[in-house]
Amino acid sequence: MVTIDLTSSQRAILTALVNGYQGEESPVPAKTIAETIDREPRTVRNQMSSLNSLGLVEGVPGPHGGYEPTDAAYDILDRRPVDNPETAVLAREFDRVDAVVDGITFTNVHHPELCRARIRFQESVQTLGEGDAIAIGAIPHVGLLIAGEIEAVEPSRNHVLLNVARLETPGS
């Protein structure tokens, strides 16, 4: 397997592209990506040229054109394209939002007093911030409910590091 090292800017652009494409399933214009990551459209287009040469994106010409991620883009971001994703309810400050959770990894299960989880979403996490209290669940087919306070947000990877305050499973 070939390893491609992306700059933080390239990773942010590619993540925004995949998020936008999964939401709409149509080409994502450079302007939309630029607004998402707070960059100029010209900067996005310049980076897209290098991402295209790496085989991570394809340009779609025309008035409804833009960019589409390739399978390699999903691989490099360690994501999988999902045709009909199951959503979990994400509640932040009592506001409910449907979100697609791509994965949950418990990072320190052996610690007697502290439980942390790294949660990967298929949407942008830029609206979430450190210190936000969130609850996720129940996760479809599993019934897992997880709640806590956000310790860190990694927007370029759609990751949130959560200090878990409550964890429930069916029957618990």
Q: What is the pLDDT of residues 59-113, one digit of tens each?
A: 999 888 999 999 899 888 887 766 555 566 666 666 777 677 878 888 887 777 7
Give the three-class secondary structure for 31: helix
Within a domain: 2: no
Phi-psi region of 38 (alpha: psi -120 to 50; beta: other; left: phi over 0): left
Instruction: For residues 55 and 92, state if they share a domain.
Output: no
Nearest to 119 by CA among 105, 139, 140: 105
Domain of 65? Answer: 8-76
Establish if 134 belongs to a structural domain.
yes
Q: How confident is the model at residue 14 (pLDDT cuts 50, 70, 90)?
A: very high
Q: Between 151 and 140, whose confidence is greater? A: 151
Is the residue at 44 inside a domain?
A: yes
Identify the domain boundary among 23, 44, 76: 76
Q: Which ranges of the chain does DSSP label H, i.e. alpha helix?
A: 8-24, 30-37, 41-53, 71-76
Q: Examine residue 151 and state whether it is found in any structural domain, yes or no.
A: yes
Same domain flag for 62 and 129? no
Sheet holding 88-92, edge to edge: 95-99, 88-92, 133-136, 145-154, 159-168, 116-121, 101-106
**Residue 118 covered by a domain:** yes
pTM of the prediction?
0.60
